[in-house]
Amino acid sequence: MRLIGLDPGLRATGWGIIDVRGTRLSHVANGRVTPSPDAEIADRLVALYDGLMAVMDAWAPDQAAVEETFVNRNPASTLKLGLARGIALLVPARAGMPVAEYPTNLVKKAVVGAGHATKTQIGMMVRTLLPACEPDGEDAADALAVAICHAHHAGTRNRWAQGAARAESLGR
């Protein structure tokens, strides 16, 4: 199964793609979509959409995971981030793939083991979990962390579903 993780942002949206075979994870690609910082918000959103569509077309992931918006003290910044997050949710959904969402602290806990890990710790653990991976900046490392988190959680959900189906077939 091929997963894409997305770390949305108006200045840069990180993306990371991994392949999952059983419990084995392998790095496929990563990068950032970076709209012009001088562009109007609508034009930035178009650039994010076009850039993420190009990533989807190039790497053909099966599922997507998007980091949830972290609400900060500045409501205007949170709202703008929400616009970028909307594009990050829309692109894979329009491509017909399942899209999962994960809170920032859950992503950090899944990758580092602590919900308040630093960007440096996340980058180090991503490189440890995905040998030979060199993330294209913090945004790409965060996106790979989202993909890793999804791999762990999707695997658990699949095992639960298989167990429930088995129990149902046995009449329990």
Residues recognised as catalytic: 7, 67, 139
For the chain, the DSSP string reads: -EEEEEE--SS-EEEEEEEEETTEEEEEEEEEE---TTS-HHHHHHHHHHHHHHHHHHH--SEEEEEPPPP-S-HHHHHHHHHHHHHHHHHHHHTT--EEEE-HHHHHHHHTS-TT--HHHHHHHHHHHSTT---SSHHHHHHHHHHHHHHHHHHHHHHHHHHHHHHHHTT-
